[in-house]
Amino acid sequence: MLTEDGKHLYVSYDEYHNLIEKLALIIAKSLWPFDVILCLARGGLRPGDILSRIFNKPLAIMAASFCRQEAGTVQCVLDIANSITIPKGDIAGSVLLVDDLTDTGSTLRAVMQQLRKGYPAMTELRSAVIWTKSASHFKPDYCVDFLPTNPWIHQPFEAYDTLRLEALMQKWKV
């Protein structure tokens, strides 16, 4: 649900999963025969996993993250992993790069550049996200929702960003 002022988008688990299913349909409609899904941890883990199951494709994982300050509202330097985790061999062929959103576009642009330089066995690379904000200077190949007001997206699992083990132990009386 988008707030009236357009500054916040609150997403339930059901909405989140429905959006991933819509993303799957958009990708399928393109008829692009990709070989592997590469998700960016952390935001792309959930969509990547679900898309991997729907398309019955191997799932590879790569970590990329901005250091975060002030509860994730301030970004610092982008850190991209030097390796990819994939069940068998190296990443090759047609690769679908999955993340949850493109905020400014910096992460997807940098990751795609690194992938094109460092993985010559990759023959084609496309990107897929749930949300694209208008502030993004990167346009993904596949996207479900374009957000013209650049809202802060409150995803359903954000409660775990601040939940610590002590509080969890208290909650469950462990």
Going from N- to C-terminal start, the domains of the chain cover: 8-171
Q: Which amino acid is at 30?
A: S
Q: Where are the alpha helices (DSSP H) in 30-154?
A: 45-55, 106-118
Identify the CATH assignment for 8-171 out of 3.40.50.2020, 1.10.10.10, 3.40.50.720, 1.20.1250.20. Answer: 3.40.50.2020
Phi, psi of 55 (to 5 degrees): -90, -5
User: What pLDDT score was predicted for residue 67?
Assistant: 64
**What SS3 state is found at 159?**
helix
User: What pLDDT score was predicted for residue 58?
Assistant: 96
State the Cα–Cα distance between residues 165 and 154, nearest whole angstrom: 22
- Please list the pLDDT of the chain residue by residue as tens digits (174 residues): 888 888 999 999 999 999 999 999 999 999 999 999 999 999 999 999 999 999 999 999 999 887 655 555 555 688 888 889 998 888 999 999 999 999 999 999 999 999 999 999 999 999 999 999 999 999 999 999 999 999 999 999 999 999 999 999 999 999
| Chain Cα centroid distance, residue 122 | 20
Which pTM was predicted?
Answer: 0.91
User: What pLDDT score was predicted for residue 12?
Assistant: 96
